[in-house]
Chains A and B, each alone.
Chain A
Amino acid sequence: MSESSATPRKNYVRPLDIKHGQVDMAHGAGGRAMAQLIEELFARHLGNEYLAQGDDGALLPAQGEGRLVMATDSHVVSPLFFPGGDIGCLSVHGTINDVAMMGAKPLWLSAGFILEEGFKLADLARIVQSMAAAAKEAGVPVVTGDTKVVERGKGDGVFITTTGVGVVAPGQALSGRSARPGDVILISGTLGDHGMAIMAERESLGFESPIVSDTAALHGLIAAMRASGADIHVLRDPTRGGLATTLNEIARQSGVGMMLQEKALPVNPAVNAACEFLGLDPLYVANEGKLVAICAENDAEKLLTAMRAHPLGGQSAIIGTVHEDAHHFVQMTTAFGGKRIVDWLSGEQLPRIC
């Protein structure tokens, strides 16, 4: 035995081979490999004083008089990487937005990973780094987490569940039950960018103008909207099911009807063209960086001005009004001057035959 090999090695455990390695079952078994994955990948990128506590949960400081808001969301997007983002930043933005739409200031996130055996560590590293960047930019750290590995073929690479905790100041809580007849409906930008970016990538449709996801954390925009002093009654992010589904949910929760103006709906021309091509309606296509705001009629212009002044609300628009309706119909005056219902989506939107 040579002298050098007898010397205790400082780093006896070989570091993760991010470049060539793959997730294997040991990464979810609770042993050294899992500890290593957490330490060298998750903690390295997502690290902060709470995550560093290393316990099963995070001990968090009290937040004065405010009430806590918690929201959770699971992310199973395919493909994992798409123009404008990936499952990592999406999982951070989505949950921050869910907390923020309640009128709360998002404070902390948890992240649960379900990894599939054989998943490339390099791809996982890209995802975690993207999460870290999104969490840092949003100022909302990931303070606790969990990892499981499932056998090859039993997952889709990686699933991420994030839970967000936030605090809402007294009198600031928002609910989908608060829309009132006479209120005005606003949207913070163009419709359908995320869903169409995913679909174009998934189906390799290769449109001439690449469509980019709008994934973004919206609590900064909401803070700016709040600062305007406008009397905001409802906030909601129109994710899966798009604007149409979100408005139907609010209409039912609040027991009201709504009337949209088709001409006022902002839609990116490339998204519009892609929807036209596939026979889809941008009203039903998912968004990940947009919000619907419903506010008192007199404050609508003030709120619109505040939204447009924020980088994430530059294309904000007033799109409709709330009225009394026992049937809770969401209707729309078409660009054509006619009227139609904007109904709940039935099942999935599927491309039509001809």
Chain B
Amino acid sequence: MKYIDEFRDGEVAKGLAEAIRREANPARNYHFMEFCGGHTHAISRYGVSDLLPANVKMIHGPGCPVCVLPIGRVDQAIRLAVEQGVMLCTYGDCLRVPASDGLSLMKAKARGGDIRMVYSSADAVLLAQKNPDKQVVFFAIGFETTTPPTAVAIKQAAALGLKNFSVLCCHVLTPSAISSILESPEVRQWGTVPLDGFIGPAHVSTIIGSRPYEFFAEEYRKPVVIAGFEPLDVMQAIKMLIRQVNEGRAEVENEFSRAVDRDGNKKAQQLVADVFEMRKHFEWRGLNVLPYSALRIRSQFAEFDAEKRFPLGYASVPDHKACECGAILRGVKRPQDCKIFGTVCTPENPVGSCMVSSEGACAAHYTYGRYKDV
């Protein structure tokens, strides 16, 4: 595939692995967090860790939008479908997220809820147009990447004058999650996070640019390299991070210059600003309630806000007591350190957030790397 195979070339990878080995100082250890689930997936699926020297460790971060979706939010979506009789539309990988009472959207569908998998927010608007007798709710989740299409859908519904379309908005913001990893009270409780730098999420930065990460680099003295999701992108980013650490620099560098610049996509940013505003508080699965970490629909689009249209009280639902996702999402523990990993908690029966999506740290290790544990 043009523009893809070039970034999966095994021979280039060998050369890059050699360059990383040369770059890494054998006298020290390097711990880098790949924030985004897309990177976690690439590292696991292509076996990138096998190509790294032993003193370069990758830590899987919380950047999987499905994993950080709290149970209470999925419960709201299920209640909309089952109790309010709406046609609930959402992206495919939301369907398996475990909710309360042993339910998930997929199980609620089997119980008669009208739950539809869509490929885009525009499909949900189309379903609302085709089903004027039905209330259609788009269960909108994801980081900055999926937010502009939701904004477009709301604007489109407004332009069409749709009275039967609304959005349950659960969009979250990347910088807040990174702040939480670095300074939340839990970090003090669990200990210092051994992080020497971040691989920044590429798709998010195509929208917000690389500028929002400059704060972290300066404030926390942590280098950030924005990188694409192909395995060679990840390896190149690791090499760039090692070099920054060795030279005592803490800057934002952009490996993904083929799609990302410092300022991002201003049109998309404007769209998002038109339709959404910050929430003061939002619960993240595994990270607790984070201030100014999510978006809600502005009052001028209130008629498209499912939280205003339907009686939807929010109730927080705690994770399993033995679940270590909070520590794993912050890089303090590894999936295999959790007592229920691979026993009670598996991809078939995910208990904690990290096991929910294939991009979660636990699911990735279980699915691709557990041969290393035996």
Interface residues of A (CB under 8 A from B): 203, 205, 263, 269, 272-273, 276, 327, 329, 331, 333-341, 343, 346-347, 350-354
Q: Which 8 A-B pairs have CB atoms at the shortest separation, nearest pair first?
A: A338-B47, A350-B92, A346-B347, A338-B50, A340-B368, A336-B46, A351-B92, A353-B91
Q: Chain B 10-51 against A: per-residue CB contact (8 Å), 1 yes, 0 no?
A: 100110010000000000000000000010000011111111
Q: Is the CB of B371 within 8 A of A354?
A: no
B47 contacts which of A273, A334, A346, A351 (Cβ < 8 Å)? A334
Query: How many residues of B sit at the interface, in one of the four size bands?
Result: 35 or more
Q: Is the CB of A272 within 8 A of B1?
A: yes
Contact residues in B for A354 (Cβ distance below 8 Å)? 38, 65, 142-143, 145-146, 203
Query: Is B333 at the interface (CB under 8 A from chain A)?
Result: no
Q: Is the CB of A340 within 8 A of B142?
A: no
Interchain CA distance A201-B49 in the complex, whole Å:
38
> With A347-B96, A354-B65 in contact, is A337–B91 under 8 Å at CB?
no
Query: Is B357 at the interface (CB under 8 A from chain A)?
Result: yes
Query: Is B369 at the interface (CB under 8 A from chain A)?
Result: yes
Contact residues in B for A347 (Cβ distance below 8 Å)? 96, 106, 347-348
Contact residues in A for B374 (Cβ distance below 8 Å)? 327
Q: Is the CB of A337 within 8 A of B10?
A: yes
Contact residues in A for B8 (Cβ distance below 8 Å)? 335-336
Q: Is the CB of B358 within 8 A of A352?
A: yes
Q: Is the CB of B47 within 8 A of A339?
A: yes
The residue on A at minimum CB distance from B372 is A339
> With A346-B348, A354-B143 in contact, is A337–B51 under 8 Å at CB?
yes
Contact residues in B for A333 (Cβ distance below 8 Å)? 47
Interface residues of B (CB under 8 A from A): 1, 4, 8, 10, 13-14, 17, 38, 44-51, 65-66, 91-96, 106, 117, 119, 141-143, 145-146, 203, 231, 346-348, 357-359, 366-371, 374
The residue on A at minimum CB distance from B141 is A353
Contact residues in B for A350 (Cβ distance below 8 Å)? 92-93, 95-96, 117
Contact residues in B for A335 (Cβ distance below 8 Å)? 8, 10, 46
Interchain CA distance A304-B368 in the complex, whole Å:
29
A337 contacts which of B14, B92, B368 (Cβ < 8 Å)? B14
Sample of 11 further A-B pairs with CB below 8 A, known A337-B13, A346-B367, A351-B92: A276-B1, A335-B10, A337-B47, A339-B47, A339-B50, A340-B46, A341-B370, A347-B106, A351-B119, A352-B92, A352-B93
Q: How far is the CB of B227 from chain A (nearest CB, A)?
A: 15
Residue of A334, A338, A341, A343 with most partner-chain B CB within 10 A? A338
A-B contacts, 19 of them at CB < 8 A, read: A203-B119, A334-B46, A334-B47, A336-B47, A337-B13, A337-B51, A338-B46, A338-B50, A340-B45, A341-B370, A343-B367, A346-B367, A347-B347, A350-B92, A351-B91, A352-B92, A352-B93, A353-B66, A353-B92
Q: How far is the CB of B112 from chain A (nearest CB, A)?
A: 14
Interchain CA distance A68-B146 in the complex, whole Å:
56
Q: Is the CB of B143 within 8 A of A338?
A: no
Q: How far is the CB of B172 from chain A (nearest CB, A)?
A: 12
Interchain CA distance A333-B367 in the complex, whole Å:
15
Q: How far is the CB of B120 from chain A (nearest CB, A)?
A: 11
Q: How far is the CB of A276 from chain B (nearest CB, A)?
A: 6
Contact residues in A for B141 (Cβ distance below 8 Å)? 353
Interchain CA distance A263-B203 in the complex, whole Å:
27
Interchain CA distance A351-B44 in the complex, whole Å:
18
Contact residues in A for B14 (Cβ distance below 8 Å)? 337
Interchain CA distance A354-B13 in the complex, whole Å:
25
The residue on A at minimum CB distance from B370 is A341
The residue on B at minimum CB distance from A281 is B45
Contact residues in A for B95 (Cβ distance below 8 Å)? 350
Q: How far is the CB of A343 from chain B (nearest CB, A)?
A: 5
A336 contacts which of B13, B146, B358 (Cβ < 8 Å)? B13
Q: Is the CB of B357 within 8 A of A352?
A: yes
The residue on B at minimum CB distance from A275 is B1
Contact residues in B for A340 (Cβ distance below 8 Å)? 44-47, 368-369
Residue of B4, B8, B10, B146 with most partner-chain A CB within 10 A? B10
Residue of A263, A273, A353 with most partner-chain B CB within 10 A? A353
Q: Is the CB of A341 within 8 A of B347?
A: no
Interchain CA distance A205-B123 in the complex, whole Å:
12
Q: Is the CB of B10 within 8 A of A351?
A: no
Q: How far is the CB of A325 from chain B (nearest CB, A)?
A: 9
The residue on A at minimum CB distance from B14 is A337
Interchain CA distance A352-B364 in the complex, whole Å:
14
Interchain CA distance A350-B356 in the complex, whole Å:
12
Contact residues in A for B368 (Cβ distance below 8 Å)? 340-341, 343
> With A263-B10, A327-B371, A336-B10 in contact, is A273–B92 under 8 Å at CB?
no
Contact residues in B for A352 (Cβ distance below 8 Å)? 91-93, 357-359
Contact residues in A for B346 (Cβ distance below 8 Å)? 346
Contact residues in A for B106 (Cβ distance below 8 Å)? 347
Contact residues in A for B366 (Cβ distance below 8 Å)? 343
Q: Is the CB of A273 within 8 A of B369?
A: no
The residue on A at minimum CB distance from B96 is A347
Q: Is the CB of A353 within 8 A of B65?
A: yes
> With A269-B1, A336-B13, A339-B50 in contact, is A351–B45 under 8 Å at CB?
no
Interchain CA distance A131-B264 in the complex, whole Å:
55
Interchain CA distance A334-B368 in the complex, whole Å:
11
B93 contacts which of A263, A276, A336, A353 (Cβ < 8 Å)? A353
Q: Is the CB of B146 within 8 A of A338?
A: no
Residue of B66, B92, B145 with most partner-chain A CB within 10 A? B92
Q: Is the CB of B51 within 8 A of A336?
A: yes
Contact residues in B for A353 (Cβ distance below 8 Å)? 65-66, 91-94, 141-142, 146
Q: How far is the CB of B83 from chain A (nearest CB, A)?
A: 24
Q: How far is the CB of B18 from chain A (nearest CB, A)?
A: 12
The residue on A at minimum CB distance from B48 is A338
Q: How far is the CB of B36 from chain A (nearest CB, A)?
A: 9
Interchain CA distance A263-B346 in the complex, whole Å:
29
> With A203-B119, A341-B371 in contact, is A334–B45 under 8 Å at CB?
yes
Interchain CA distance A333-B45 in the complex, whole Å:
10
Contact residues in B for A273 (Cβ distance below 8 Å)? 1
Contact residues in B for A263 (Cβ distance below 8 Å)? 10
Interchain CA distance A327-B359 in the complex, whole Å:
24
Contact residues in B for A327 (Cβ distance below 8 Å)? 371, 374
Q: Is the CB of A329 within 8 A of B48?
A: no
Interchain CA distance A336-B8 in the complex, whole Å:
7
